[in-house]
Amino acid sequence: MKLFENIINHKLSNITGAELLKYANQFQISVAKADAEKIAQYLRGKKINIFNDSDRAKVIKEIAKIAGPDTAKQVNKLFLMFSK
């Protein structure tokens, strides 16, 4: 299970805006292209564990600052789908 978590966390630390949009569309979550680019830029290079509730909450708060609270809620839904 830890391997699965490591793969997902690694992917998030290297994600592009296009990939984030692809995943959002796949899970029917609405994220604007400009917001996806900003979020991906923020996530790139960060050591984030979305399986840890407090880490995920910190990231979502930062995403809310970057792209707004509605987008942050949508991204949180996407993270929750990744972590299940």
pLDDT tens string 40-67: 999 998 898 999 999 999 999 999 999 9
Distance between CA atoms of residues 29 and 5, nearest Å: 22
Per-residue pLDDT, 30: 87
Instruction: Say whether pLDDT at 1 is over 80.
Output: no
Q: What is the pLDDT of residue 22?
A: 94
The average confidence (pLDDT) of the chain is 92
Q: What is the CA radius of gyration of the chain?
A: 11
Looking at residue 76, what is its pLDDT? 92
In sequence order, the 6+-apart residues with CB closer than 8 A to the CB of 84 are none
pLDDT at 51: 94
- Both tokens of residue 82? 């990744």
Helices (H), 1-84: 2-13, 17-26, 33-43, 53-67, 69-82
DSSP state of 52: S
